[in-house]
Structures are given as C-alpha cells and as structure tokens.
Chains A and B, each alone.
Chain A
C-alpha cells in the first residue's frame, strides 16, 4: 500500500463547476498537508498548505484536512480553464532535521470552456 493514494483521473469538467480532488494517506506521522499545481512541462508550485484538521480557504480554493479519517481534499469553486493542470497532494513529516515530502500520483484536471 502506498503511503499516499490519489486518484489519477483524468478529470474533465465544464467551466464554472465545483471541483473536488482527494487523497488518502496511511502514515499518521504526517504533519503538514499541501496541494501543488503542475502545469504541463513545468515544475510543481505550492498552491495550498495546512497543518491542522479543518478547512483553509484562499480565494476560489479550499483545502480540507480530516486527520481522523486520514483524508484530505481540495475544492475549486467557479473553475476556470486556467485551472487546467495536474494537482498533486503532498504530505510531510520531520526526518533527519528537515521535512520529507511524500507526493500523491497527481490528478490531471481539465476545465472545458
């Protein structure tokens, strides 16, 4: 079993739809939870970051963490074609004095105009 599981999709939705992306994890030692966005042929960039259970909102994006269920989600409201990208969840734990990140497989998202 992988430490982090993420449905690879692909996921295709119409513009304006609400998008829900999800990951589950097995290691309860994970401390920080992140979502990275990766455009084609680019490196991933940090989108959302949280360390506690609950919701965190940033504009059209909401990150949700449920530590009891070992489940995290990213919601995108009023989705735009520019949101089309691969979304990777990532989780980290302290190892040898730094944060070791474990990434999900990534979900490829397409927003259709």
Chain B
C-alpha cells in the first residue's frame, strides 16, 4: 500500500506474555519512528531508526522493550513480559527527509494487557 502499515491493529494479551508489533514504512523512507500513545495522552517517543541503526534509544521505557529494523524497511517492536501499564496504542511513523520532521503515521497497534 501507499501508507505506513502496522500489524496487528489490535492485540489483547495476558500479563507476562511477550508481544511483537510490526511496522511497514512507506517505501524509500529512511527514517522510522515508534511512539506510544496512552489514553488521553500525547505521543511518547520510544525509538527512531535511520536506516537500520537506532541512534536514539532514550525513549524505551525499560529493558523489556526492544526494537529492530532490517533491510532499511520493516521494523519490529518487541515487549517482553508485558505489564498492564504497557497498554496503549503503539504508533509507527516514517519520514522521507529526516531533516524536516514531516512524519507519516500508521494507524497504530492497540495493545491491551489483561
């Protein structure tokens, strides 16, 4: 498709389980970002990739969170041993020009941890 694609769109899991969230950026976009949006809250920066490398991992909330990007394209955000406070919408965005800040967002993956 032409836009940023995220999967799954919805995920319900039990506390303690691991989850993987996938992001397919717009073809050719070199920069890829992960944000988290909790109910009624703004966007919390998690991590960004320039190509396959992640120069800024400062936003990852804990060592249970990790992300990778392969082939300069698809990215996976992994949350291990999920906790209830991890429940949120996880948004992925990509950018053609890393210097303008114009991000194209996917529709998000809504994670609910029971």
Contact = CB atoms under 8 A, between A and B. Distances in A.
A105 B38 CA distance: 10
A44 B56 contact: no
Interface residues of B, number: 27
A102 B45 contact: yes
Contacts of B98: 97-99
A82 interface: no
A6 B50 contact: no
Interface residues of A, number: 27
A44 B105 contact: yes
Contacts of B1: none
Interface string A34-49: 1000000111111001
B103 A46 contact: yes
Interface in B56-114: 56, 91, 93, 95, 98-108
Interface of B: 4, 31, 33, 35, 40-43, 45, 48, 50, 55-56, 91, 93, 95, 98-108
Interface of A: 6, 8, 32, 34, 41-46, 49, 88, 90, 92, 94-106
